[in-house]
Amino acid sequence: MKRIFVACGSGVATSQTVASKVQSMCEDENLDVSVEAVDFKSLENIIDQCDIYISIVSEKDNNWNVPTIKGIPFLTGIGMEEEFEKLKELIKK
Amino acid sequence: MNNSILHENLIFLNYEATDQLNLLNKFSGILYANGYVKNSYAQAVIKREQEFPTGLNTPGVKIAMPHTYPAHVLKSTILVATLKDPVTFKEMGNSDNNVNAQLVFMLAITDPKGHLSILSKLMSIFSDKEKLSDIYHTDNKMDMIKKLNKILF
């Protein structure tokens, strides 16, 4: 099972929502994943525990060696299919 | 979850704000005066907006969703404002971009996991151009609450 982290500034609203959206999209495609919302400040300590990272913060704040997907498209719908395709590729790897 | 998350005195239609700081201060002050947030909320929400902006370039009416950590919140609510003139926010996920927000959802949330369903449903309209337009053009506070409650619950 692939472990996916979604991080936003405070772990309050956006990361939770994106995590639940991604989880249900993956379930619809029978992909075995665990999607968790985390807050950005704790990410540094736990980033090595995830296989894929979905980012809702600016790219310049991201400095990890983990495959990264954009989270905003899952909120606005703009570019969502494209990001989901990328995510599926990473999950199947 | 009951449907008391929206309140008529926290709905603002055709609101005039000079800029982002003015808007965040005014709305934080109103939430504070009505007992929804602590005194510290205003500074916290302003700081968080600088670190992690909340503007969203949706396919329709542009949105800002200012919020901060639950530690600054006393009672959960969502303040809703339609803006007469757009107010510039930075874009979530890409702070090099600006968002000319016309619709503001200011979140005061004590328990993000407990409110996940409401937050998800609120954000589900962010990809819906027609719904956003309909919400933005609402000209009556009770209608606004009715429309949003239909989405949230």
Min distance B4 CA to chain A CA atoms (Å): 18
Cα–Cα distance, A44 to B115 (Å, whole number): 26
Give the tens place of pLDDT for each residue, B102-119. 999 999 999 988 888 999
Which domains, ranges and CATH numbers included, belong to chain A? 2-92 (3.40.50.2300)
Contact between A13 and B107 (Cβ < 8 Å): yes
A chain contacts of residue B109, beta-carbon cutoff 8 Å: 12-13
B104-118 burial, b at 16+ Cβ within 10 Å, e below that, comes to bbbbbbbebeebbeb
Other C-beta atoms lying within 10 Å of the C-beta of residue B96: 9
**Which of B130, B119, B138, B137 has its CA nearest to residue B67?**
B119
- Measure CB to CB from residue A58 to each of B57, B70, B94 and give the nearest one: B94
**CB-based contacts of A10, cutoff 8 Å, min separation 6:** A39, A40, B48, B52, B67, B68, B69
Cα–Cα distance, A73 to A55 (Å, whole number): 10
ipTM of the complex: 0.88
B chain contacts of residue A37, beta-carbon cutoff 8 Å: 112
Q: Is A21 on the interface with B (CB under 8 A)?
A: yes
- Residue B2, pLDDT above cutoff 50: no
Q: Is B40 on the interface with A (CB under 8 A)?
A: no
Write phi, then psi, for B78 (nearest 5 degrees): -125, 120
Token pair of A4 as six digits: 């996916």
Q: Is A16 on the interface with B (CB under 8 A)?
A: yes
Query: Is the pTM here over 0.90, yes or no?
Result: yes
- Measure CB to CB from residue B127 to each of A13, A59, A76 and give the nearest one: A76
Sign of torsion over alpha carbons B102, B108, B113, B115: negative
Which domains, ranges and CATH numbers included, belong to chain B? 8-152 (3.40.930.10)
Instruction: Give the pLDDT confidence score for residue B112 in this predicted structure.
Output: 86
Q: How many residue pairs from chains A and B have C-beta atoms closer than 8 A?
A: 79
- In this structure, the strands spanning B94-108 and B55-56 are unpaired
Under DSSP, the state recorded for B121 is H
- Residue A75, pLDDT above cutoff 90: yes
Give the tens place of pLDDT for each residue, A46-71. 999 999 999 998 877 777 889 999 99
